[in-house]
């Protein structure tokens, strides 16, 4: 199912789209009509876990207000990562995001599994190389394991609140899926 179809499904379910989603749709001459939601309200449905990196044991679930926490949280708490799920990640072919501080490379990263066929390896590598992203196809799960340096994405800085980090990652993935689908 294409990104356009996934958005149309959401609208049929009575979900609202953001100005960003409507603007991207208009840029590609997609006809979408429905209600609107402010972008900062897009991820009000999130499920958040703080997880121990070593054991992968959940330390604690957090409420949506945790998303006001700055990205520096993961640098200050290097033994944990933040796992975030949202029904909206399905739109961009991702189940969830893991945000962490990478001690080896001394950088903030987001890791996710991207549901794309293996034949897209070349184009994905081309798209992700400017971001110094790591990409590996996981045959067991049938998806790509992607690791992106967050500070390489537009509008992300160390003091960026997690809600804005998630929004920037979503926007990046949204545009990437459009590009992938237009090359099919």
DSSP readout, 16-58?
Answer: -B-HHHHHHHHHTT------B--GGGTTTT-EEEEEETTT--E
Q: Please, are residues 42 and 167 in contact by the beta-carbon 8 Å criterion?
A: yes
Residue 2 has pLDDT above 90, yes or no: yes
Mean pLDDT of 5-23: 96
Residue 163 has pLDDT above 80, yes or no: yes
Q: Please, are residues 69 and 162 in contact by the beta-carbon 8 Å criterion?
A: yes
Mean pLDDT of 102-129: 94
What is the reported pLDDT for 44?
87
Share of the chain above pLDDT 70, in %: 99
CA distance linking residue 174 with residue 114, whole number of Å: 12
What is the reported pLDDT for 51?
98
Describe the crossing of helices 162-182 and 3-12 by its angle, rounded to 10 degrees: 120
The band of 81, judged by pLDDT with boundaries at 50, 70 and 90, is: very high
32-76 pLDDT, tens digit per residue, is 999 999 988 899 889 999 999 999 999 999 999 999 999 999 999
């Amino acid at each position: 199912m294409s990104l356009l179809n996934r958005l149309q499904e959401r609208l049929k379910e009575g979900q609202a789209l953001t100005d960003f989603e409507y603007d991207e749709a208009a840029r590609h001459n997609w006809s979408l009509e429905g209600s609107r939601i402010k972008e900062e309200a897009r991820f009000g449905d999130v499920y958040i876990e703080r997880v121990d990196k070593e054991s992968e044991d959940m330390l604690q679930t957090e409420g949506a207000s945790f998303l006001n926490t700055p990205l520096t949280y993961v640098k200050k708490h290097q033994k944990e990562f933040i796992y975030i799920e949202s029904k909206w990640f399905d739109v961009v072919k991702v189940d969830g995001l893991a945000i962490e501080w990478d001690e080896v490379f001394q950088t903030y990263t987001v890791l996710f599994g991207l549901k794309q066929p293996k034949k897209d390896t070349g184009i994905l590598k081309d798209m992700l190389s400017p971001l110094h992203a790591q990409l590996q196809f996981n045959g067991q799960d049938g998806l790509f394991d992607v690791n992106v340096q967050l500070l390489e994405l537009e509008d992300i800085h160390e003091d960026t609140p997690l809600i804005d980090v998630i929004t920037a990652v979503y926007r990046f993935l949204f545009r990437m899926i459009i590009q992938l689908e237009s090359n099919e």
